[in-house]
Structure 1
Amino acid sequence: MKYKWVVMGAFWLLIFAYGASWFCVAPMLHNIESKYDIGHTYSHLLLSIIGLFVVFFAWPAGHLVDKKGAKASALVGSIFMFIGFGSRAFLLQSYWSILAATIVAGFGLAWILVALAPMMIQWFEEKASLAIGITSSGLFLGFSFGSVVSPHIFDKYGLDGVFEFFALFSFISFLIWIVAGKDKKKLESRRVSFKEGIKQIMASKNALIYPFIGFFIVGATLSASALMPSLHNFDKFEKGNIISVMLLGCAIGAFSFPYIAAKYGIKKIASGVAILALLLWIAFYFISPYTLLLLISFLFGVFLQAGWPIALHSQETEKGVTKENEGIAASLFISLSNVGGAVLPVLTGYLERNMDIAFAGIAVYIIACFILWIAIRR
């Protein structure tokens, strides 16, 4: 069964490349605003609009997982990823052309994310929670890598250099997935209607709570990563570092806390990390020394993101979720998570006219996560 680690590695690289290619624009939003004469709301769309399209494509992705397997879904996503992120370097003539390429890339994320839990569950079975945590950490490590590397590339080679680098990176990960990605075994014909699948999933009282936890976690993560560089007087490299260490923390949280929660109690650990994330968010706002802000950013990312893979695994292992409808269950979680990723950063960008209100808005998102974890019945 050693091949399961090859599959995990290939999936991890795929999702890492997606995250890096997506978030390479995060530290450059103000540069993009200046270059194309656009405001905060428009520039933030380059981060948030991907989540909007996840909402639409999560459902067909879930159907494909249940019908053809997780590899097929991730392959579709990787094709969109390469076409979208690969074309940005050739579309620098306007903001709208870059946004269009980002939208194409956004078509792919749902197919990758929906495949994540079913792929890890079939290969790792009882250890799937750890595997989901490890693999999902790739997305946030990608966010961190893209955020810290892109300012240095931009400084030497400009925006086209940034997009060329990540186009090549996405292509390499796409090729590796084609070669190494594999379902554990050929699927038997297993059909369940969408209506019946949803009915089975809704047998659990927690069926909608987990997706709404994802809604607020994803929305808070994207909103905070866009707002944090503006809360203090950072230079462009410090902005990239702040975003990078925060997202590195997200990766550590996603990696480590599914195991911790499984051992010590999901509800207790998940609600506890939500409170810690809130306290660290408040600390980031009021503390000034840059070194301390780096540490706070890292820890904030750890505790903010810890709940997402816990909620995803919990959704996939709830009463009523079976091999016949696991794709639908994943679709429900991923789609609602990314409604948050689409809506909340745009709302935060609008609120950014007043930094105090924008800061308070993200605090409310985190408090909502805590309340929802408390509402879970296990």
Structure 2
Amino acid sequence: MKKLIWIGCLSYFVIGLAHVVLGSILPVLLQHYDRSYSAGGELIFSQFAGFLAGVLVSPLLNRRFGKRGGILIATGLLLCAEIAYAFLPPWGWMYVIAVAAGFGFGMIEAVIGTIIIAAVTEGTAVAMSRLEVLFGVGALLMPLAASPLIAAGQWRLAFLIVAAFSLLSLLFWAKSRFGPLDSTLNERSARPDRAAAAGTTRKLSLPYKGKQWVVLGLFILFFFLYVGTEMSLVNFMPAIFIAKLGMSEAAAALTVTFFWLAMSAGRLFAGVIAEKISYRIYVLVSCFAALLLLIIFPFASHRLAAFAIILLLGLFMSGIFSIALVFSSKLLPGAEESTPSIMIASGGIGGAVLPLLTGWSMDHLQIAQTSGLLAAFAALLFVLSVTAWRIG
């Protein structure tokens, strides 16, 4: 089990790198292609459309190739996509590559998250927080590596960093053995005949009843808003700091590092705190703090104050995803196999749609208005967290 968790952590580290590599170099990437921030939003949209496809298709590929086979396919696709990014092909091809990259890390996240939540029966929040810590480490190291590459004019090498760690993860999954869990990871479903397929279809219907559908809908919207807000922040934060505070592109890339540094630090304790104070209180307090900080952010006119807000924002947002994922699964007993994938998929839609809207606002509205848009997302998130608190 420990080996599975740690190799899962490596995969989450890789998808942390992959999630933010575009945002870390987005200003110089758009400058290279002579494109607007709206085009940047479309690129992020394409990547998260691929993410959503990866999450939705993962159960089919898992049944055909096994969970290990599915992870190998997804990691291999991510590896190829990041190498293709580094060649800086014509802009139209960047959308295709973005879909492939998103498909890869979306499927990786869905499969590993499902395995951990189903396999770890005690301390589930702690195990998920450990994965999220490594996600955060990858997300903070990527812009830290990108900053000197941007300064040196070699920013395309950032994609090859992701490719190198994708290859390492691919080798670990291909060669590692997990004892009794191997049968679960390698299990494939036989192709059924028509009669069996009909029975299987009935068995595979979503296991939700009555009020559970209300809870499911609530958390679908919650994850849509949360992931969309987080991805808007990490992908457009450097651009916001450039426009708001006049920072250089290399220095602005470090804002994402500060954000993920705080996220990673917070995730070290998020699981333990949530287990002590309850999942519902943790999610409620975290969403309220995020709302307050995003309301204050437009009024921060000095770099020190803006960086302090970003650090606090990362700290309070650090555990929302993983704890809410466990919280939703606990509120929907008997659906542990389907709930994580549905929540991650809804997050993928939010991660595609809201950055598209944020990119448009960067081109057509003032920076303060774009910041206000992010605060509006957080306000809706807080309202949903209050509702979840009452249910839980």
Could you report, residue by residue, the CA deviation over 1:175-230 in whole angstroms, capped at 9, with x for unpaired residues?
12222374725248889856654541355241222222111111001112233332
Alignment partner, residue 208 of structure 1: 217
CA spacing shift, 1:161–1:53, aligned 2, 3 Å: closer
DSSP-derived class of the 2:181 partner: coil
Task: Give the letter for the 2:136 counterpart.
Answer: F
**1:226 match:** 235
Does 364-373 or 72-81 show the bigger shift?
A: 72-81
Displacement after TM superposition at 1:310 (Å): 1.2
1:99 has 2:95 as partner: yes
Q: 1:114 matched to which residue of 2?
A: 110
Higher Cα Rg: structure 1 or 2? 2
Give 2:73's aligned residue.
Answer: 76
The runs of 5 or more residues in structure 1 that have no matched partner are none
Q: Paired residue for 1:238?
A: 251
Match 1:364 to one of 371, 376, 381: 376
* Greater CA drift, 104-113 or 284-293: 284-293
Give the TM-score of the pair, scaled to structure 1: 0.89
Q: 1:166 aligns to what?
A: 162
Separation of aligned partners in 2, 1:337 and 1:137: 18
- SS of 2:68's partner is helix
1:338 matched to 2:348 = yes
Shift of 1:340: 0.3
- Quick check: 1:51 aligned with 2:53? no
| CA contact 1:62–1:330 (8 Å) conserved in 2 | no
Q: Is the 8 A contact 1:201 1:320 kept in 2?
A: no
Instruction: Give the deviation of 1:122 after TM superposition.
Output: 4.5
Any idea what the Cα deviations from partners look like across 1:301-330, whole Å, max 9, x if unmatched?
A: 1222421111211233333434xxx33222
In structure 1, what residue type is equivalent to 2:221?
Answer: F
In structure 1, the partner of 2:303 is 290
Q: Which residue of 2 aligns with 1:9?
A: 6
Unaligned runs of 5+ in 2: 190-196
Q: Determine if the alignment matches structure 1 residue 327 to structure 2 residue 334.
A: no
AA matched with 1:359 = S
The aligned counterpart of 1:130 is: 126
Distance 1:104 1:319, change over 3 A: closer
Runs (4 or more) in structure 1 with deviation over 6 Å come to 188-192
Q: Find the aligned partners of 1:234 and 1:249 in 2 and give their Cα distance.
A: 21
**Aligned mates of 2:319, 2:153 — CA distance in 1:** 36
Of the structure 1 ranges 185-194 and 356-365, higher mean CA displacement relative to structure 2 is found in 185-194
Return the letter of the residue paired with 2:371.
F
| 1-structure distance, mates of 2:279, 2:57 | 30
Q: Give TM-score, length-normalised by structure 2.
A: 0.86
Determine if contact 1:61/1:114 at 8 Å carries over to the other structure: yes
Cα distance in 1 for partners of 2:4, 2:231 equals 28
Tell me what 1:348 maps to: 358
SS in 2 for 1:327: coil
Q: Does 1:36 align with 2:48?
A: no
**Which of 289, 304, 311 is 1:276 aligned to?**
289
- The answer as to whether partners of 1:219 and 1:342 remain within 8 angstroms in 2 is yes
Task: Tell me, yes or no, if the aligned pair for 2:289 and 2:316 is still in contact at 8 Å.
Answer: yes
Instruction: Tell me the residue number matched to 1:251.
Output: 264
Change (3 A) 1:67 1:256: farther
Equivalent pair of 1:132/1:309 in contact (CA under 8 Å): yes
Counterpart position of 2:59: 62
Quote the offset at 1:345 in angstroms: 0.4
- Check 1:199–1:304 CA distance in 2 against 1; reply closer, same or farther (3 A cut): same
Aligned partner of 1:217 in structure 2 is 226
> How far apart are the structure 2 equivalents of 1:141 and 1:162?
16
Kept in 2: contact 1:59–1:328 (CA 8 A): no
CA distance in 2, matches of 1:360, 1:181: 49
**Cα distance change on mapping 1:93 and 1:112 into 2, 3 Å:** closer
Percentage of matched positions with identical amino acids: 19
Shift of 1:356: 2.6
Q: Equivalent residues in 2 for 1:305-324 (5 A)?
A: 305-322=318-335
User: What displacement does 1:255 show?
Assistant: 4.2
2:20 aligned partner: 23
- Deviation per CA, 1:231-263: give whole Å up to 9, x if none: 322222321121111122233344432332222
Amino acid aligned to 2:312: L
Q: 1:84: how far off?
A: 0.9
**Partner deviation per Cα, 1:133-183 (whole Å, 9 max, x = no partner):** 110232232221111211212333523333333322321222122223747
**Secondary structure at 2:142's aligned position in 1?**
helix
Match of 2:194 in 1: none
Provide the aligned length of Structure 1 versus Structure 2: 371
2:204 and 2:266 map into 1 onto residues whose CA distance is: 31
What amino acid is aligned across from residue 231 of structure 2 in structure 1?
L
- Whether 1:154 and 2:150 are equivalent positions in the alignment is yes
